[in-house]
Amino acid sequence: MTDWNLSQPEKKLLTCLLLFYREVGPAATPGLRGLDDEAGLAAHELDDAVRRLRTKGLIEFWELSPAIRLTREGLLLAQHIHGNEGR
């Protein structure tokens, strides 16, 4: 797996999105409002993590809602990170 050099907030957000994906399915597209609490991030950390993950192509972003969703690459990386937690 590629070393994406992710920050801790980016990893937290990917893990949070993975949990949404597992609960809702591939169409899971949570809105940004309240996602900072869900992911355990401050609002500025969420904004920065969204910007960075979007730039890396790991999430898709819808400005109208605003909402985000994992890309295929983001899903694979989130599963890898989640699988390595606690090791």
Domain count within the chain:
1
In a domain, 26, yes or no: yes
Q: Domain of 36: which CATH number?
A: 1.10.10.10
In a domain, 3, yes or no: no
Residue 25 structure tokens: 């399915």
Query: Could you tell me if 75 and 12 are in contact, meaning their C-beta atoms sit under 8 angstroms apart?
Result: no
pLDDT band at 27 (very low <50, low <70, confident <90, very high): confident
In a domain, 55, yes or no: yes
Strand partners, 68: 61
Per residue in 53-78, pLDDT tens? 999 999 999 988 899 999 999 999 99
Q: Tell me which residue range forms the domain holding 70.
A: 8-84
Q: What is the pLDDT of residue 49?
A: 97
Rounded Cα–Cα distance for residues 38 and 32 (Å): 10
The letter for the amino acid at 32 is: L
In a domain, 38, yes or no: yes
In a domain, 2, yes or no: no
CB atoms within 10 A of CB 41: 21
In a domain, 1, yes or no: no
Rounded Cα–Cα distance for residues 37 and 39 (Å): 5
